[in-house]
Structure 1
Amino acid sequence: MDLFDSLGDNSEVVTAFFLTHAMSVIGAIIILIAGYIIAGWAGKRVKDATSKSGKFDDTLVPVLSQTTRVVILVITFLLVLGQFGVQTASIIAVLGAAGLAVGLALQGTLSNVAAGMMLLILRPFKVGDAVNVAGTFGIVDEVRLFTTEMHSFDNIGITMPNSRVWGQEIQNLSKFENRRVDMEFGISYRDDMDKAIALIKEVLDADERVMAEPEPLIAVSELGDSSVMIRVRPWTETKNVWPLRYHITKSIKEKFDSNGVSIPFPQRDVHLFKKN
């Protein structure tokens, strides 16, 4: 009989224990779900607000959104631990010590974060700019905490670690409104140089995309092995650089052909000597 009495008493203790912790578990689950939902909602709201305000660069928008979401999730995690009586102050101290250890072990990864912050602060480029980073050409899609996302001109995705982007020479092809188009054309030594220059000038004057100021440069640049090289350097709006280059190259070739100016190609004369 005493055995059953002791079991009855223990069952009440066990029941009370489960009820107490069941409420903590339920509360933790509710906090976790609510925190997850609020983090997603807040991140989306920050992204929408910053993108529509016009006061924030497009490069900063995804980072601000991600940071807001992470901060809310961290707070949610601490609140969940508090449901089980865990002292959050000690947890923060432990996380700080663990963060230091992890930081020492992941120096390369953290260098990407530091480089990403420098890219966001100094902003050598923004979303949508065409850039050349260490010989890699592409259009910037997004700057994340660890990587910079781009796509090439033929629409191939490019993911570069931020440390590599920041540690290399960055050429921003879209930074200025106007750019110079550098071209060279060769003519035969038998042709009239002044005539060729006049024909090139006619082609440039006929194209509205060529800017009057600064004045286009048309000059003899080199006396090559088989041709006289004429350097052509018109200025145009940045968006017109490649269309103008293609059009001018075709138009000058057609202009030369119709006016008797030849474009030589490399050739070799072979002389045979017959021995007696």
Structure 2
Amino acid sequence: MEIDPQNAFSAIQTGIRQASALVVTYSFSVVGAVLLLIIGFVVAGLVERWVYAGLGQVGGFDLTLRRFFSKIARYVVLGLVVVMVLGQFGIQTASVIAAIGAVGLAIGLALQGTLQNIAAGIMLLALRPLRIGEYVQVGSISGTVEEIGLFATRLRAADGVYVLAPNSTLWTQPVKNFTRNGVRRNDITITASNEHDIDWVQKSLLGLAEGDKRVKKDPAPSAFVAELGDSTVAITLRYWTSVSDFQSAKVDLNKSVRNTLKANSTIQ
């Protein structure tokens, strides 16, 4: 079959014209998309800084939360820019938004545990049941808080062990904060024979506590009979110290009580 040169030339010209029209059309779309991306990145950066600075004006707003919400604002702007860029090429933005929603739902279901940790981290940072530097106990987890992240909290146990606890675990259990109130109470209980002078024992215990500068005057230390037995009596020395002095005062007073009462053959 012979090819008509004139028809072939006409077909080539038609193809060239169509390709040129497509190039011109999509060139404008590409240029517009590039401009949108550039402007979008600039605006996203500005929005991130504005949100970060604005939240900084809110008294007591946590630094980690400021970073988190400013990043969220940036990604929201970038998401809108991507949808606008796709619209430049004739893609239906409603379909894109629906697809993004479906993908987001699937990711949310797949990362349900992770999202729970993020939500718990936000609540921990907002309500602050624990702060960096505080010694806390949550269930079987205890230690000094070193960092509160959006996914997990890092603690240092009393024996120096590194502990990384998921935020959801810390949020769903009662928190014992040993540092927050600034003072702590300690009880030293000894068992004495009924034959001993109970008044003298109480005065001796009080004297030891009152003579220690770390023991608070208010509330004042007290010594009282805590429990009665058939042949013994339990006497408790109760006193308060600052959190920083709690452990050292406890160790020293335990030793002083033991030495004082043992010398008088009071302790059983």
The 3 A distance-change label for structure 1 pair 122 and 66 is closer
The 3 A distance-change label for structure 1 pair 154 and 91 is farther
The 3 A distance-change label for structure 1 pair 144 and 87 is farther
Deviations 1:203-228 (A, max 9, x none): 11111221233332323445789986
Quote the residue 2:175 is aligned against: 170
- Cα distance in 2 for partners of 1:40, 1:118 equals 22
- Cα distance in 2 for partners of 1:113, 1:138 equals 21
Q: What displacement does 1:18 show?
A: 6.5
Which residue of 248, 256, 259 corresponds with 1:251?
A: 256
SS in structure 1 opposite 2:137?
strand
Q: Quick check: 2:51–2:73 contact (8 Å CA) kept in 1?
A: no
Q: Quick check: 2:182–2:242 contact (8 Å CA) kept in 1?
A: yes
Deviations 1:64-96 (A, max 9, x none): 321111221221132133123255454334333
Number of paired residues? 257
Instruction: Output the aligned Cα RMSD.
Output: 3.8
Which residue of 200, 217, 222 corresponds with 1:212?
A: 217
Q: Quick check: 1:184–1:229 contact (8 Å CA) kept in 2?
A: yes
Unpaired stretches in structure 1, ≥5 consecutive residues: 265-276
Q: Quick check: 1:39–1:73 contact (8 Å CA) kept in 2?
A: no
Calculate the TM-score normalised by the size of structure 2.
0.73
Quote the residue 2:120 is aligned against: 115
- Cα distance in 1 for partners of 2:125, 2:243 equals 24
Which residue of 84, 87, 106 corresponds with 2:86?
A: 84
- Cα distance in 2 for partners of 1:129, 1:46 equals 28
Quote the residue 1:272 is aligned against: none
- Cα distance in 2 for partners of 1:116, 1:91 equals 31
Unpaired stretches in structure 2, ≥5 consecutive residues: none
Q: Quick check: 2:152–2:167 contact (8 Å CA) kept in 1?
A: yes
The 3 A distance-change label for structure 1 pair 154 and 23 is farther
Quote the residue 2:235 is aligned against: 230
Deviations 1:112-164 (A, max 9, x none): 34434444554433444321100311233444443334333445443322322
Quote the residue 1:158 is aligned against: 163
- Cα distance in 1 for partners of 2:154, 2:40 equals 31
SS in structure 2 opposite 1:234?
strand
Q: What displacement does 1:239 show?
A: 2.9
Quote the residue 2:75 is aligned against: 73
Q: What displacement does 1:29 show?
A: 5.1
The 3 A distance-change label for structure 1 pair 219 and 96 is same
Higher alpha-carbon deviation: 229-238 or 85-94: 85-94
Q: Percent identity?
A: 30
Which residue of 120, 130, 150 corresponds with 1:125?
A: 130
The 3 A distance-change label for structure 1 pair 29 and 158 is farther
- Cα distance in 2 for partners of 1:254, 1:35 equals 72
Quote the residue 1:267 is aligned against: none
For residue 238 of structure 1, what is the amino acid of its counterpart?
Answer: V
Q: Quick check: 1:43–1:66 contact (8 Å CA) kept in 2?
A: no
Which residue of 49, 60, 63 corresponds with 1:61?
A: 63
Calculate the TM-score normalised by the size of structure 1.
0.71
- Cα distance in 1 for partners of 2:201, 2:211 equals 16
Quote the residue 2:188 is aligned against: 183
